[in-house]
Structure 1
Amino acid sequence: MDTAAARARGLLYGLLSLFFLPDFDEKRLSLARNVLESLPKTGVERFDSAVGDLREALAGKEATEIREEFERLFIVPFEGAQIPLEASYYLEGKLFGPSLARLRELLGELGLARGEGVSEPEDHLGVLLAFMEAATQQNSLIQERELFYNFLRPCARGVTAKLEKEASFYGKVAKMLEAFLELEERFFEEA
């Protein structure tokens, strides 16, 4: 596998994971802005448009605004419909279902584990994106594909379907996530 392509894919997974983990801060905001500014045009209209929209949305945002929107959408149940971020919810209709055990087994095969201090379960969207970032660097395409199709894709599809209705910042994050994952599907089909 092309190491430059693997690094680029990993960079995008890492960027997107920043937005789906709690406690968004100025450090993450700065990193996200830097990564988005460094991305060249790909020639894929939907992806390039999503990158441009997210770059523009980030330009006027403070970390506290992003953190508050995250909490409103994903954590605080009293401010509207809380959007689950766990793959087991989208796969089985409940949290901590059998798919989480299967995911943990796959992660063990890949030698991946949650980072210290991460309290979200392994099937949480932000954690799955971070796992995909790490998996892109391991040259284990079969297991990477399994992680993508069996866990990340169903979770992301469920979350983005709910977020794309949002005219807010996270609607733009969802648009970029979906556009990137469509590129990843093409990558896996051609690999």
Structure 2
Amino acid sequence: MTGQEAAMERPTVTNDIAEEDRLRADLYDFLGVLLAAPPNQGLLDQTARLSGDETDLGTAIGALSRIAQHTKAPAVEREFNALFIGLGRGELLPYASYYLTGFLNEKPLAALRRDMAARSMTRAENVYEPEDNIASLMEMMAGLITGRFGTPATLSDQKTFFNKHIGPWAGHFFTDLEAARNSVLYASVGAVGRVFMEIEAEGFRMSAG
């Protein structure tokens, strides 16, 4: 995956959402940024200042922060390239189509594009990655929560989008990232993502609608 820029056009942001939802969106956005391109030193320094509580998610965030304190941008760029780019391909292929069908650019991507169009989501002009990559999907969820693509999505619509496009595979991807041979900083990114996906899936399961 390449490109430091946002994967999606960002026409609108609405501030009238609950603090809990703002925090969820921030974590989706944070994962999206880390998975879209190697973090620069500024982002690594910000990550190093994060702190976590004693929950599973807080513990994972604390571990990521500690590793970021000892990570420099050139090293994490090499790590990112080995994981996601490589010679021909990286160690992991972070696409819904690949995880769900074993091939790239398959039916999950077509279904996602239909649902993006229905929600006025548009891929940024300077991004050429298939839209079903994990970084873009994290950004889409953040945008649905905050109203970046219009009004904030209802919890029911968030649940529908998550269960269709993220829930079936993102946890598997983050588990693979956690255990990948080339993962160092990204092993902790994988842990944060895995725990967060579990929390989101359970939250949606418990919700009505």
Same fold by TM-score greater than 0.5: yes
For these two proteins, the number of residue pairs brought into alignment is: 185
Q: In structure 2, do the counterparts of structure 1 residues 117 and 97 end up closer, same or farther at CA, with 3 Å as the change threshold?
A: same
Is it true that 1:145 corresponds to 2:159 in the alignment?
yes
The residue type paired with residue 167 of structure 2 is R
Contact 2:175 2:194 in 1 (8 A): no
Q: In the alignment, which residue of structure 2 is the partner of 1:47?
A: 57
> Matches of residues 25-44 of structure 1 in structure 2 within 5 Å?
25-33=40-48, 36-37=50-51, 41=53, 44=55
Q: What is the 5 A alignment of 1:27-176? A: 27-33=42-48, 36-37=50-51, 41=53, 44=55, 46-77=56-87, 82-137=91-146, 138-166=152-180, 168-176=184-192
Give the deviation of 1:88 after TM superposition. 0.5
Cα contact 1:104–1:122 (8 A) shared by 2: yes
Q: Cα distance 1:115–1:155, how it changes in 2: closer, same or farther (>3 A)?
A: farther
- The one-letter code of the counterpart of 1:134 is G
Judging changes above 3 Å, is the alpha-carbon distance between structure 1 residues 117 and 26 closer, same or farther for their aligned structure 2 residues? farther
Residue equivalent to 2:12: none
Q: TM-score, normalised by structure 1?
A: 0.86
Give, in whole Å, the separation in 2 of the partners of 1:19 and 1:76: 17
Aligned counterparts, 1:177-188, within 5 A: 177-188=193-204
Structure 1 unpaired stretches of 5+: none
Report the Cα offset of residue 23 of structure 1. 4.3
Rounded to whole Å, the distance in 2 between the matches of 1:111 and 1:30 is 34
CA change 1:23–1:173 in 2 (3 A) is closer
**What secondary structure sits across from 1:160 in the alignment?**
helix
Deviation at 1:152, TM superposition (A): 1.7
What is the identity, as a one-letter code, of the residue corresponding to 1:150? K
Is the 1:76–1:82 Cα contact (8 Å) retained in structure 2? yes
Structure 2: gaps (5+ residues) = 1-15, 147-151
Q: Distance in 1 between matches of 2:32 and 2:143?
A: 12
Which amino acid letter does the alignment assign opposite residue 20 of structure 2? Answer: A
